[in-house]
């Protein structure tokens, strides 16, 4: 990620202006505010604004008149209770607005999360930058042989070099054509809304993305997970660190119950009970499908 000197100056300017406020402030988030966190080769995530902190969650849960904060241990216990019992609305009281720069193919996965508010950079109005995602060699992998929706062994040697050359050359050629079609030198110049058609899906776009904490946790649960594609996971992992600084108690509960926890089906509970009673249970006698059993064994061994 490279920011232009003008962009860096804008961020520095935004961070230099402080003012007193009566509103809830999260010290951890204040340290992050406006700063660009690099992701992938040209991407970034930054927090533009936020509302609420850990206390805002317990305040809403208790419907308090004041800030609602009791002892931190009480707040933590309540937040963990709310998370454990899927009592989600208090988490919706916190909001965050991100500025994200991301490849279009990542944006297509991201935009499926409908519970956020989005405003994207207009490639009808503006000209896109010559910036394309090219995977680092350690992420350039072959099709997985066990998971149709994933990658397996790394590409190596000549094959890896050839693939990287193709990706770079195609991106540059497409961008040259894009510029050529837009140009008004000696021609009318194609409209921006049409010229963008030939750009590949690894071109970078940008948006502002505003979401409440409950739905952000849902997004992070799905996209920071090992099953998510590496490129969107890279964003989710950076956002996890930001959220951890913003609402440490809520993030701790999320990490424990959602990221680190597992859901048990009725059949799985039965199998565990039978195992605890000393019975040897196999997939055939468990009542679970092969896929369910594989996932169950993955968690419980
Ligand atoms: C590993 C992985 C693989 C995936 N593979 C595919 C794929 O192959 N093809 C594909 O098309 N998608 C795929 N997806 C996308 C996935 O199916 C979801 O569309 C995406 O994760 C957004 O989830 P969501 O709808 O729960 O989120 P959000 O849109 O943020 O919604 C959050 C929750 O709000 C509720 N909600 C929101 N809108 C509505 C609505 N209109 N009606 C009812 N309830 C609503 C639902 O409870 C929903 O869970 C994949 C996602 C992941 C993480």
pLDDT digits (tens, 9 = 90+) for 42-87: 999 999 999 999 999 999 999 887 765 566 668 999 999 999 999 9
Which of 170, 165, 131 has its CA nearest to residue 2?
Answer: 131
Residues 40 and 114 in one domain: yes
Residues 45 and 190 in one domain: no
Extract the tokens encoding 210. Answer: 């505003």
> Collapsing DSSP states into helix, strand and coil, what is residue 298?
helix
Write down the catalytic residue from 223, 233, 258, 294.
Answer: 223
Give rounded-to-5 percent helix, strand, coil for the chain. Answer: 50, 15, 35
Which atom of ligand 1 is found nearest the CA of 227?
Answer: 1
pLDDT tens digits for 193-202? 999 999 999 9
Q: Which residue has the higher pLDDT, 277 or 2?
A: 277
Which of 215, 236, 256, 244 has its CA nearest to residue 115?
Answer: 215
User: Given this model, what pLDDT does residue 70 score?
Assistant: 61
| Phi, psi of 159, rounded to the nearest 5 degrees | -65, -45
198 Cβ contact list (under 8 Å, min separation 6): 174, 177, 178, 181
Extract the tokens encoding 115. Answer: 């519970």
Residues 103 and 224 in one domain: yes
pLDDT tens digits for 135-163? 999 999 888 887 888 888 888 889 999 99
223 in catalytic set:
yes
Of the residues 242, 259, 276, the one at which a domain ends: 259
Residues 93 and 190 in one domain: no
Instruction: Indicate if the pLDDT at residue 100 is higher than 60.
Output: yes
User: Given this model, what pLDDT does residue 88 score?
Assistant: 96
Extract the tokens encoding 167. Answer: 């990706």
Query: In terms of residue numbers, what domain contains 103?
Result: 5-133+202-259
Between the CA of 113 and the centroid of ligand 1 the distance, in Å, is 6
Which residue among 91, 113, 114 has the greatest number of ligand 1 atoms within 8 angstroms of its CB, and so is best to mutate? 114
pLDDT category of residue 125 using cuts at 50, 70 and 90: very high
CB 70 within 8 Å of CB 91: no
Instruction: Indicate if the pLDDT at residue 292 is higher than 60.
Output: yes
176-183 long-range contacts, Cβ below 8 Å, gap at least 24?
178/128, 182/127
Q: By alpha-carbon position, which residue is closest to atom 18 of ligand 1?
A: 112
> Collapsing DSSP states into helix, strand and coil, what is residue 163?
helix
CATH number of the domain residue 129 falls in: 3.30.1360.170
User: CA-CA distances (angstroms) from residue 139 to 143, 229, 234?
Assistant: 12, 11, 11
Extract the tokens encoding 182. Answer: 């837009």
Q: How many distinct structural domains can be found in the chain?
A: 3
User: Given this model, what pLDDT does residue 193 score?
Assistant: 97
pLDDT tens digits for 230-281? 999 999 999 999 999 999 999 999 999 999 999 999 999 999 999 999 999 9
CB 21 within 8 Å of CB 52: no
Across residues 166-170, what is the average pLDDT? 97
CB 206 within 8 Å of CB 101: yes
User: Given this model, what pLDDT does residue 68 score?
Assistant: 58
Verify whether ligand 1 is closer than 6 Å to residue 86 (CB atom): no
């Amino acid at each position: 990620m490279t920011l232009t000197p003008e962009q860096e100056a804008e961020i520095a300017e935004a961070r230099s202006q402080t003012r007193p406020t009566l509103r809830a402030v999260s010290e951890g988030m204040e340290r992050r505010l406006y700063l660009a966190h690099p992701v992938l080769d040209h991407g970034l995530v930054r927090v533009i604004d936020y509302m609420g902190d850990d206390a805002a969650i317990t305040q809403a849960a208790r419907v308090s008149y004041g800030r609602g904060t009791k002892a931190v241990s009480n707040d933590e216990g309540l937040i963990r209770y709310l998370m454990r019992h899927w009592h989600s609305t208090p988490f919706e009281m916190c909001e965050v607005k991100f500025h994200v720069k991301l490849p279009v193919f990542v944006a297509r996965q991201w935009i499926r999360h409908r519970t956020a508010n989005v405003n994207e950079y207009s490639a009808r109005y503006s000209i896109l930058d010559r910036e394309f995602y090219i995977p680092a060699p350690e992420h350039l992998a072959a099709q997985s042989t066990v998971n149709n929706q994933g990658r397996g062994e790394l590409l190596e040697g000549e094959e890896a070099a050839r693939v990287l050359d193709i990706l770079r050359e195609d991106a540059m050629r497409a961008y040259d054509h894009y510029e050529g079609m837009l140009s008004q030198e000696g021609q009318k110049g194609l409209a921006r809304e049409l010229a963008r058609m030939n750009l590949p899906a690894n071109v970078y776009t940008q948006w502002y993305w505003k979401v409440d904490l409950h739905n952000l946790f849902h997004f992070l649960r799905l996209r920071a997970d090992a099953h998510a594609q590496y490129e969107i996971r890279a964003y989710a992992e950076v956002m996890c660190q930001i959220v951890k600084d913003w609402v440490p108690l809520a993030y701790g509960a999320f990490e424990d119950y959602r990221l680190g926890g597992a859901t048990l089906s009725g059949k799985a509970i039965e199998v565990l009970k039978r195992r605890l009673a000393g019975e040897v249970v196999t997939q055939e006698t468990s009542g679970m499908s092969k896929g369910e059993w594989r996932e169950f064994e993955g968690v419980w061994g």
